[in-house]
Amino acid sequence: MLKENRKKYHHGDLKPALVQAGLELLEEVGLEDLSLRAIAARVGVSHTAPKNHFESLKGLLCAIAAEGFRRHAEEMRKGVEGTSPGKDRLRAATAGYVRFARENPELFRLMFSSGLARDETPELAEAGAESYSVLQSVAAGLDWPRPALRPELHSWQTELLLWTIVHGYASLLIEGRGPRTPHGEPLLDVLEIMPDFEFDSNADRATQ
Amino acid sequence: MLKENRKKYHHGDLKPALVQAGLELLEEVGLEDLSLRAIAARVGVSHTAPKNHFESLKGLLCAIAAEGFRRHAEEMRKGVEGTSPGKDRLRAATAGYVRFARENPELFRLMFSSGLARDETPELAEAGAESYSVLQSVAAGLDWPRPALRPELHSWQTELLLWTIVHGYASLLIEGRGPRTPHGEPLLDVLEIMPDFEFDSNADRATQ
DNA sequence: AGAAAAAATTTACACTGGAAATATGAAAGG
DNA sequence: CCTTTCATATTTCCAGTGTAAATTTTTTCT
């Protein structure tokens, strides 16, 4: 009986509005200065209104981070689609991963460096898994044949290695601690240091 | 004229005492709940006393993080000394890096994920560089001969790759987002996924 | 219409970091 | 020895934070 297109009561859709406002404010003021009261004020409600939709500030942050993971996954998928398994796909996925971090540094920090994973909601866990699954599918294209340097690596190790490299890279980059070229400029392309995985045309049939 | 062993005035050595108390409280209550007032209270002074030694809370956090980087470097050096350049040294350094992160997760987050690098003090910058230099010296042992997979990699790229892998690994580990084996257990040894660098006895002479 | 439930506000409280004025105590100069 | 000086620490105050409880407003259901 709910008419979705009609404003239902006081605000209408406060819950998603808070998430949206939080996403905006997050990049504007930074993670440490993001406050529940400021988010509520931007939406135009009192600072206790969110309590009806989120248990606490942490709950709201979980929802914001979850939306972040969905966009993170989308950013990688966007680049990946249309590429063939192998180097092009790897380039597209890693580029998407790093691009997302550079364009949403505070959101990226909320997702990965805020300790939110310790008490994450089911929604957040699922969104995080969705993001990782994109990387997994890319790694699947590298799984067979195996990386030349470690012929004995299992596929889950290849995935982990890929994730570790691209994540460490993005983390250090947005934190301002490197990576930099010897000339001091930020190194923006992770592929410049990515170890060569071995590709050939048989990669397709290995990707189930 | 200063007699170091005698209490000099009100407190004595408030500055290092605050850093020490901060290091302790940090791991006890976590980065987000660490407060200036709690640190001051632990030392037994008023919450405005730190103002005489640190410009603000951020300044105190910088001093804590700097001490963290020194211990971080020490943790790696401790394992590295006595090893010969190559795989053993790599194992020791990476193990130290990850061990430090596991034993001081909140401190590690303060050092690398708190956005402190944006307005870091000279002390913090120097301590961070000291820590990185240990990794550099280890990478030097891998520099010649070059990693098998990317024969064209420059030495700074090898350093960066090594740093990226071990840092991404430690970050994901303490954040609880992986890395995990397929059975769900945390993967504690980064070498299980580390790409093989090529070593031989000539590595020594290449390390100047 | 009236009852029930949901949503949002008001008020209050215990925290936080920082600014300003004040007090304390140690060192230095006569 | 006494006083001055100055770094150190305290007291007081303020604006801001998240959360809980009681209350008001609006929607929904019978």
Over residues B22-57, the pLDDT tens digits come to 999 999 999 999 999 999 999 999 999 999 999 999
- Report the chain A residue with the minimal C-alpha distance to residue B198: A149
- Give the range among A70-74, B74-78, B130-134, B190-194 with minimum mean pLDDT: B190-194
- β-bridge partners, A180: A186
In the predicted structure, residue B148 carries a pLDDT above the cut 70: no
**Neighboring chain B residues of A163 at a CB cutoff of 8 Å:** 168, 172, 178-179
User: How far apart, in whole angstroms, are the C-alpha atoms of residue A7 and residue A13?
Assistant: 8
**Neighboring chain B residues of A196 at a CB cutoff of 8 Å:** 149-150
Q: What is the mean pLDDT of residues B143-172?
A: 79
- Report the chain A residue with the minimal C-alpha distance to residue B168: A168
CB contact under 8 Å between B115 and A156, yes or no, is no
Q: Which residue is nearest to nucleotide D10 (CA to C1')?
A: B46
- β-bridge partners, B180: B186
- State the residue for tokens 């090898």: B158
Positive or negative, the CA dihedral B186, B188, B189, B190 is positive
Minimum CA–C1' distance nucleotide for A36: D18
Report if CB A4 to strand D is under 7 Å.
no
**Neighboring chain B residues of A166 at a CB cutoff of 8 Å:** 168
Q: Which of B95, B76, B91, B106 is nearest to B174 (CA)?
A: B106
Most B-contacting residue of A193, A194, A196, A197 (CB-CB within 10 A), to test interface: A193
Q: What is the mean pLDDT of residues A99-121?
A: 95
Residue A114, number of CB atoms within 10 A of its CB: 22
User: How far apart, in whole angstroms, are the C-alpha atoms of residue B35 and residue B109?
Assistant: 16
User: How far apart, in whole angstroms, are the C-alpha atoms of residue B41 and residue B47?
Assistant: 7
| Residue B80 contacts residue A138 (beta carbons within 8 Å) | no
Confidence of residue B150 (pLDDT cuts 50, 70, 90): low
Q: What is the mean pLDDT of residues B150-170?
A: 86
CA A87 to chain B, closest CA, distance in angstroms equals 14
Distance in Å from C18's C1' to B21's CA comes to 21
Q: Which helix (H) or strand (E) holds B80?
A: helix B57-80
10 Å CB burial of residue A141 (0-12, 13-18, 19+) is: buried
User: How far apart, in whole angstroms, are the C-alpha atoms of residue A35 and residue A32?
Assistant: 8
